[in-house]
């Protein structure tokens, strides 16, 4: 996949990544590679100055936020959960684009009153084990992921949790062979969430059979408009 295959987007965009700096190097690098200015923040104040929001991967969401007790969640960061949910609320209310990756997908689902399966029975197929796992997925025909990657594609994963009950207004557009939700969109809000890690799929020599993560990023950035899409 070459740069010319990417969807057109404005290169003067500013993208906020809500997370801790120690965990967001790959996301910042991916956006830099796309020619986009980004910043990792933990302060809601500056968010009004950003065009789009990335909710990155990380630990597990505080189970109380989706009405459950801890049943296998780990690496919980409640302060970060609160800030990410508040940032998402701001962008949803203003209709600005959001990309949720791994935990970010789950944050989106919880925000729309969905739930999380705290420890997937299929976790060994998806969880990090000295590197990403790679597996096949199915994309809903006609969905944005199908248009980007086809109805069948290979993605990476590094997670032990997954979506439970789907949040209000969300639609599943990608699943794995073992029925783990891998991609969602909202019927109205310009957002997309994926359970896999497109920011680690820019180098085709590392994973030549997997999707090109740049395509998903270009779609996300094109949601900001004024780029002829």
pLDDT exceeds 60 at position 175: yes
Total number of domains in the chain: 1
DSSP state of 2: -
| 167 close to 72: Cβ distance less than 8 angstroms | no
Separation between Cα atoms, residue 187 and residue 62, nearest integer Å: 26
CB-based contacts of 140, cutoff 8 Å, min separation 6: 146, 172, 173, 174
Token look-up 């094109």 returns 222
Q: Is residue 182 part of a domain?
A: yes
Report pLDDT digits (tens) over 34-57: 999 999 999 999 999 999 999 999
Q: 226 pLDDT band (50/70/90 cuts)? A: low
Kindly tell me the sign of the dihedral angle through the C-alpha atoms of 197, 9, 16, 194. negative
CB neighbours (10 Å) of residue 164? 17
Separation between Cα atoms, residue 136 and residue 206, nearest integer Å: 17
Question: 4 versus 167: which is more confidently predicted?
Answer: 167
Q: Is residue 193 part of a domain?
A: yes
Length of the chain (residues): 229
Supply the range of the domain harboring residue 57.
Answer: 3-222
181 forms beta bridges with 175
CA-nearest of 27, 168, 160 to 108 is: 168
Report pLDDT digits (tens) over 93-147: 999 999 999 999 999 999 999 999 999 999 999 999 999 999 999 999 999 999 9
Q: What spatial distance separates the first Cα and last Cα of the chain, rounded to whole Å?
A: 19
| 110 close to 64: Cβ distance less than 8 angstroms | no
CA-nearest of 229, 188, 148, 187 to 196 is: 148
| 115 close to 66: Cβ distance less than 8 angstroms | yes
DSSP state of 166: P
Predicted pLDDT of residue 205: 85
Q: Is residue 96 part of a domain?
A: yes
Q: Is residue 228 part of a domain?
A: no
Predicted pLDDT of residue 204: 84
pLDDT exceeds 50 at position 228: no
CATH code of 208's domain: 3.40.50.880
Tokens at residue 16, please? 């906020």
Predicted pLDDT of residue 41: 97
The predicted model scores a pTM of 0.96
């Amino acid at each position: 996949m070459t740069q010319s295959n990417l969807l057109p987007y404005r290169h003067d965009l500013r993208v906020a990544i809500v997370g801790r700096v120690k965990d967001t190097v790959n996301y910042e690098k991916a956006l830099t590679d796309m020619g986009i200015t980004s910043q990792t923040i933990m302060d809601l104040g500056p968010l009004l100055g950003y065009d789009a929001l990335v909710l990155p991967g990380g630990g597990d969401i505080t189970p109380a936020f989706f009405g459950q007790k801890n049943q296998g969640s780990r690496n919980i960061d409640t302060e970060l959960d609160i800030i990410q949910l508040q940032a998402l609320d701001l962008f949803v209310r203003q209709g600005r684009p959001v990309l949720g990756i791994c935990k970010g997908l789950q944050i989106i689902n919880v925000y729309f009153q969905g739930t999380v399966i705290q420890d997937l029975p299929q976790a060994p197929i998806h969880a990090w084990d000295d590197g990403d796992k790679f597996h096949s997925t199915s994309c809903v025909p006609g969905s944005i992921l199908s248009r980007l990657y086809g109805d069948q594609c290979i993605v990476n994963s590094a997670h032990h949790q997954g979506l439970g009950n789907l949040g209000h207004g969300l639609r599943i557009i990608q699943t794995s062979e073992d029925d783990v939700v891998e991609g969602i969109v909202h019927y109205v809000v310009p957002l997309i969430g994926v359970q896999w890690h497109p920011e680690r799929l820019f180098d085709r020599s590392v994973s030549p059979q997997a999707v090109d993560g740049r395509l998903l990023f270009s779609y996300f950035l094109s949601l900001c408009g004024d780029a002829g899409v």
